[in-house]
Structure 1
Amino acid sequence: MTLYKPSRRNFLLTTLGLTAAHMGRSAPSAPLTVGQVIDRIKANVGIPWREQTVDNLIAGSLEQPVTGIATTMMATLDALKRASAGGMNLIITHEPTFFTHQDRTEPFLQDPIYQHKRDFIAKQGISVFHFHDHWHGRRPDGIATGMIRELGWEQYADPQQPKLFTFPETTLARLAQGIESKLKIRTMRVLGDPNMPVRRVLASWGNVGLMHGIPYVEQADVIILGETHEWELVEYIQDANAAGRKKALIILGHLVSEQAGMKYCAEWLKGFIQEVPIGFVAAAEPFWRPDQPVR
């Protein structure tokens, strides 16, 4: 019996043919992982990543495949449940998951609410990424961009001072009513004369302390913020009015004052992540008024 021994040429052609056949088939792409999403965020946010930051993976693992991404202002248990029910297993939250700015869990290890939330996250296979410092540090600030867009205030913004807005003259009451309507706030609070003329407004989304707030008072008729210590900046503005200087304060609530910034974050992510669905999950406003019960 004569054994067939292929020539070197035939062997190479056969090998190349097999390779070409395999290459012609589309190999299944590897799933997008949590770590890859975070790497893309770091590459696209436009500022160097800080060594000291709260922007870290709080729950889950970098290797976990992503089925969908949800952005939210605050990773409340309610927001996590709604995101998970929608098939989103990577949650990008602006504020903490575990109650402190640094997401420190040591004080809560024996706490039943912490344990319930931790166990829900683990059971549902959720990863949570805290995205605060660099979203604010981005230029322009991601939270401010979203809030300005939501309010429709782009044309009134000062290009040199992004917190400052100049409006055609209105009253404090009309300004507050417009904000309340556009942001659908239940519990906004206003300090100042409702009929006070208003042109210059300074908005500092989120928390504003006394020492940051006092210089703001010199720049504008009205300061808009999320929250502040009532015995500090609120008292200061009360005293300013008692001294004959017409000033006003609009307190939106911390969550509402930054919510639209994370709505915008979902749009921003879509610019460099196409493999999985991306959506925004609004965290519920925590407070309600007795004359407007929660439905």
Structure 2
Amino acid sequence: MSTTGFKVTVPASTANIGPGFDAFGMALGLYDVVEVQVTDAGLKVEVIDAGAGGVADVPTDETHLVVRAIRKTCAHLGVEPPGLHLRCFNKIPHARGLGSSAAAVVSGVAAGYALAGGDIDEFDALQLAAGFEGHADNAAASLLGGLVLAWSDGGRFHAERLAPHASIRPVVAVPSLRSATATTRGLLPPAVPHADAAHNAGRAALAVHALTAKPELLLAATEDRLHQHYRAPAYPASTTLVATLRAHGVPAAVSGAGPTVLALTTAGILPAGVGVEGFDVFELPVDLAGVQVAAQ
């Protein structure tokens, strides 16, 4: 690949998926695109489209998350581009629970590998990307595509990619409300009852089977007692929508740290009569490819 110019396309992701707190992730067909051009010197960042977040919320200097990830990856790989021109087209809404930060980091890591002139080392790239957030679920999904199971061991991040059942058609309900992972994580207690932990362990195991082989079990498999009800005060409308969907038999959960609601349908639509005022609702296919880099 020529390193004078290339385009990075990275998918959004949903994480947790009910009981799989910090462990389950799935890539979704909504994409950020970063065009990278090597220049003689300096840094120029253009935010062409900032999605729902608004251009004013996105920095255009060295603090830009994509730039930080590029710098970290280039330093790790021993390369230093003379200058960079980035054009960012962001479709993933910021601070909504769809992995916008992880997608930005993964795009920067992928760009760093392209600047170094080599293919992405998936394990190495996961260490770089997950290190920004301290957990690998969203980053692994955006990096690898499909459904991922993520964990850490001795300070190293790991992920296994699985193929989700072909009949699953995710639908997301995205509110205008924004949420910060650091804030919602602060609502979690330092310990949970043993019965709740045991419940989640069983449901998480069931969820792997349901997501890959038997989606008719997803309603039971997405039950959670570990995190969602503790975070409910941060987004009451989302909590109500999850409960309503589940009462209609739809496997639904808060996406990541919220406030987006994820519904794992097989029809690609929500049931008639479910109130979704205040939410933008649309089907997002599962992305199976993960981050892609193409020469320009």
Sort the TM-score into its range (normalised by shorter chain). under 0.3
The structure showing larger relative contact order (alpha-carbon pairs under 8 Å, at least 6 residues apart) is 2
Superposition TM-score, scaled by structure 1 size: 0.27
Structure (1 or 2) with the greater strand fraction: 2
Larger radius of gyration: 1
Structure (1 or 2) with the greater helix fraction: 1
Superposition TM-score, scaled by structure 2 size: 0.27
